[in-house]
Amino acid sequence: MFCACLSVGAMAQGTLAFDANAGVKSKMTVYDGTEVNYTAYERLFYVTNVEDSTYQFLNVYVPDGATQQTPIFLRTYVGGYMASPAAHPQAGDATGRALKEGYVVVIPGTRGRNSTIVADKQYAKTHKGVKNGQTVYTGRAPNAILDLKAAIRYLRHFDRQMPGDAERIVTDGTSAGGAMSALMGATGNNPEYAELLKAMGAAAERDDVFASVCYCPIIDLEHADMAYEWLFQQTDSRQGLDDTHKQMTKELAALFPAYVNSLNLRKPDGTPLRADNYLDYLKSEIIRAAQIAKNAGADIPDSIGFSFTSEAGGMFAAPINGGMRPQMQGEQPPMGMRPMRGGKRQVGEYITDLDMQKYLNYVVSTQALKGVPAFDSKIEGVNNASGENEVFGDATGSSVNFTDYTAQRNNATLTDAIRQNVRLMNPMSFIGNGKTTVAPHWYIRHGARDRDTAFPIPVNFATMLQNAGKDVNFLLAWNRPHSGDYALDELFQWIAEITK
């Protein structure tokens, strides 16, 4: 085994190792009471030049019965773009479910915007400008995705020794973790990461994956502010801003049409998806999600903007006389027939329309919007830095701008180095460029009332992948807030189908 006893901060050299006989038998009871027996291989360092020994290793869990052909479910627990230690599987989330389904589960640790080490003499010697005893931020962009790519390469490197099939890795993550899953899926083998991975001592292997599951991915950070204001500028939550922020809302919103048009997207039916039909497309996607939920029995209230066909079919159809069957007068109508929250009776089977302004006001009533700008918020004397400003900061712990718009407000321009980091952290950067192996299968979910990023961000991403010929299962999941690892029956049915 590779020695795990590194002094913190030391630039340790070593070789990658995996010992198939070093597993520890264990078991866990998952959500439905099933006991799953597995073998755990933990603290497997995936680079030889370990900079941050708290994070740069992965854990592997092999359920009894797994073979060399068993798909691997790789879950990242990155959240908020922060560091994420290699974890154990959780009984109630997708990792417990994956074990129960017999998949090999891999949980890598990753450095993040808040991870630090204290430099020792050796580290200071090999890092220009760093002094002995200095605090060093280890996980600024693009290091989190580098760690995950190194983890994938490690799995390939030991594919023959380790149960599980490294050619069928399914990645999963939520929010910033959804972004990491999206990056793993969309940047496979891209040469722009190669030198950085080599310097870390990652295995000289491919790092593409088979499928990526992305819940509410916080991606395309350099365009997320404009999408946010374009979508939400008219909502109640954006009224009452001071003049400075009102002006920024307007200016950012005005940048979105040119951006979305530059993507040259096509809807699934082949027709162009452009700024002038974009809101209608979002409407159709929300209606599609709500109809799926309604078909499964959910009550979709008309009070938040939906219209329905006027009559229900079947034996419990509401009579045209506008109310109850004669024998029901004075009684409570049965459950499914009761008036909805909005007062009007919901009788129709089909959703026919949606008042988007009403709907967006509903979304922002469930949770107030972020500030303006929502992501690249750091403006001297106006706004504080966001977590994303830290992501693009450097090893000293700085916060920096990553969009032209906000940089200009600070009378600054983005350096080439920052631009490159922004590029390496955006899964949109390399789709279709020919030097990248993009995962063939995608499962992307964004809650229909998630306001952590605006709907166009996941919609653009899913559409771009579809346009590139990938198999994409996308939904603005009805009534879901910013969250992940839900509808696991459906997710694992999808995984079973793509891996059978």
Q: Give backbone dihedrals phi and psi of 229, rounded to 5 degrees, phi first.
A: -75, -35
Q: What is the CA radius of gyration of the chain?
A: 25
Q: Is 220 in the site for ligand DHB (CB under 6 A)?
A: no
Q: Given the complex with ligand DHB, which of 175 and 237 has the nearer CB atom?
A: 175
Strand 471-475 with 116-118, pairing? unpaired
Q: Given the complex with ligand DHB, which of 80 and 102 has the nearer CB atom?
A: 80
Q: Which residue has 């603005």 as its token pair?
A: 476
Q: Is 180 in the site for ligand DHB (CB under 6 A)?
A: no
Rounded least distance, CB 192 to ligand DHB, Å: 23
Q: Given the complex with ligand DHB, which of 53 and 389 has the nearer CB atom?
A: 389
| Cβ neighbours for 294, distance < 8 A, ≥ 6 positions apart | 300, 351
Stretch that binds ligand DHB, among 4-12, 73-81, 85-93, 236-244 (CB under 6 A): 73-81
- Determine which residue in the list 51, 222, 285, 452 makes contact with ligand DHB, applying CB under 6 A: 452
Q: Is 447 in the site for ligand DHB (CB under 6 A)?
A: no
- Determine which residue in the list 47, 145, 176, 211 makes contact with ligand DHB, applying CB under 6 A: 176
Q: Is 231 in the site for ligand DHB (CB under 6 A)?
A: no
Task: Provide DSSP, 147-175.
Answer: HHHHHHHHHHHTTTTSSSEEEEEEEEEET
**Coil, strand or helix at 260:** helix
Rounded least distance, CB 368 to ligand DHB, Å: 12
Closest CA to 304 of 336, 272, 343, 271: 343
Q: Given the complex with ligand DHB, which of 44 and 391 has the nearer CB atom?
A: 391
Rounded least distance, CB 36 to ligand DHB, Å: 28
Using CB positions, name the residue nearest to ligand DHB.
Answer: 175
Q: Which of residues 366-395 bind ligand DHB (CB under 6 A)?
A: 387
Q: Is 218 in the site for ligand DHB (CB under 6 A)?
A: yes
Q: Given the complex with ligand DHB, which of 81 and 443 has the nearer CB atom?
A: 81
Strand partners, 105: 61, 73
- Determine which residue in the list 79, 139, 142, 163 makes contact with ligand DHB, applying CB under 6 A: 79
Q: How far apart are the first and last CA of the chain?
A: 34
Cβ-in-10-Å burial (0-12, 13-18, 19+) of 108 comes to: buried
For residue 377, give the amino acid letter. S
Q: Given the complex with ligand DHB, which of 219 and 312 has the nearer CB atom?
A: 219
- Determine which residue in the list 175, 233, 383, 463 makes contact with ligand DHB, applying CB under 6 A: 175
16, 179, 399 from 385: Cα distances, Å: 38, 20, 7
The rounded Cα 24 to chain-centroid distance in angstroms is 32
Q: Is 73 in the site for ligand DHB (CB under 6 A)?
A: no
Stretch that binds ligand DHB, among 76-84, 255-263, 330-338, 464-472 (CB under 6 A): 76-84
Question: What is the CB neighbour count within 10 angstroms for residue 32?
Answer: 9
Please tell me the distance from the alpha carbon of residue 184 to that of residue 211, in angstroms, as a whole number: 9
Q: Is 215 in the site for ligand DHB (CB under 6 A)?
A: no
Give the count of residues interacting with ligand DHB (CB under 6 A): 8
Q: Which residues bind ligand DHB (CB under 6 A)?
A: 79-81, 175-176, 218, 387, 452
